[in-house]
Amino acid sequence: MYFNSGYFLFAIPGLLLAMWAQWLVKSTFSKYAQVPTSRGVNGITAANWIMQHTGLNNIGVNNIAGQLTDNYDPRAKVINLSQSSVQDSVASVAVVAHELGHAEQDAQGYFPLRLRGAIVPAVQVSSWVGPLLFMAGYFLQSTGLAQIGLLAFIAGAFFAVVTLPVELDASNRAMRNLESSGLLVGDELKGARKVLNAAAMTYVAAAAQSILTVLYYVSLLTGMRRRD
């Protein structure tokens, strides 16, 4: 009663895609982490260089623990750079430029970024309430309760889909800023693009997994209605 073999039809493709995306980003970053920049700049220097070039003078730069845990905090107006992004390498500079792409989005009021930020609280709640509501409705044969749970899964998928243009746009901004500022040149720019494209695949995989999860629960809900 608690096991549905159909789950694997939806879960396995998303899982394989996620595993491949994780391998791709780690291997690509590792490769270009070994390639120093011609200007000999590390992540911190690159951040200051790009901020001066783009006029993002109100952005702070912090160091945080971990590998590839870099992020931009729009509330504090700070980019947090991990240990893997403060060295002199093409990969580090690409990651730093990407996070500053988010800072630039924030400064310009980029709508998808604002939308994603607005729905974060709802998604945080629905991510753990949704499964409980759906399974309670499923086993109690309450279609209405299951539908509410399904809406929570849809909210999570919507968040993952909205994240895609936010991340892709940040990478495009990163490449424009790296090229126009002269921070990277020639093959360095090609390497930076490969790093950013690999990272983008993790968000594609996350969106695919979320959509497949919604489809799985839609199939369960459809089965409930047929039994009613």
Q: Would you name the residues annotated as active-site residues? A: 99
Would you put residue 143 in left (φ > 0), alpha (ψ -120 to 50) or beta? alpha
* Helices 143-181 + 90-108 axis angle, to 10: 110
**β-bridge mates for residue 203, sequence order:** none
Closest to 189 (Cα-Cα) out of 197, 180, 178, 199: 178
Here the contacts of 143-152 (C-beta below 8 Å, separation 24 or greater) are 143/221, 143/224, 143/225, 143/228, 146/220, 146/221, 146/224, 147/221, 149/217, 150/214, 150/217, 150/218, 150/221, 151/126, 152/126, 152/127
Q: Are 111 and 93 in contact (CB under 8 A)?
A: no
Q: Are 207 and 157 in contact (CB under 8 A)?
A: yes
